[in-house]
Amino acid sequence: MLLLFDIDGTLVRGAAVEHAEALRAALHEVHHIDTRAAGVVDPAGRTDGEIARMILLECGVSAQRIDDRAEEVRGQCCRLYSTLCPDDLSHTVVPGIPELLTWLSDEDDVTLGLLTGNYEGVARLKLGRTGIGSHFASAPGAFGSDAEDRTSLPHIARRRAGGPGGAYPRAGTIVIGDTPRDIACARADDVRCVAVTTGPHGAEELAAADAVATDAQDLRRVLVSLLNA
């Protein structure tokens, strides 16, 4: 079983402040704009590239210019985040997640992976400073630096997790996230999704998932059921 975990709202909560600051600072440095003109953008379930595009379009930057400088924005964001990220983010880990990941890491038939809208450099540093990064040190995954469209990410993650014979099978893949966009990206690749209510959305908003868990302990119960099915 390939389990593709989202990060913000699923593994950690409250670790996005410096991340958002780094992205807006990068947009200012690369495009020389005042990002406050764009107002507030709801980041839940979006990739960093999509968030950047929404802000830049609101600020009057052309789509062509956004495309041409996307790589530069990504590099600047990761660089700035490395200076802004607190040394210790362990307090942001969702309760019960370390124990859940330890249990899953010991399961022979489970491969842990990541599926996140964070740029990869941001994701790796964020997880490293929470203290749970070791569970994903060599994990396959897909990131906001791979595609702006989140629906493209499950296939990328499965391809990276697969062997010489091709991508990891859809039937054995589960996306785990906390937003309707996590569910939508799983559906786009025809894989299953388990939603958690540890982020900004409640069970009703996540009802389209194959299962909904309220916390890490409940998520373990759901995964036990799926692994033994």
Question: For the chain, which residues make up each domain, given as ranges?
Answer: 2-14+88-227, 17-84
Instruction: Per residue of the chain (229 residues), give pLDDT as tens.
Output: 999 999 999 999 998 899 999 999 999 999 999 888 777 788 889 999 999 999 999 999 999 999 999 999 999 999 999 999 999 999 999 999 999 999 999 998 999 999 999 999 999 999 999 999 999 998 899 999 999 999 999 999 999 999 888 999 999 999 999 999 999 999 999 999 999 999 999 999 999 999 999 999 999 999 999 988 7
Q: What is the DSSP string of 51-88?
A: HHHHHHHHTT--HHHHHHTHHHHHHHHHHHHHHHS-S-
pTM: 0.94
Q: Name the CATH superfamily for 2-14+88-227.
A: HAD superfamily/HAD-like (3.40.50.1000)
Side chain identity at residue 96, one-letter code: G
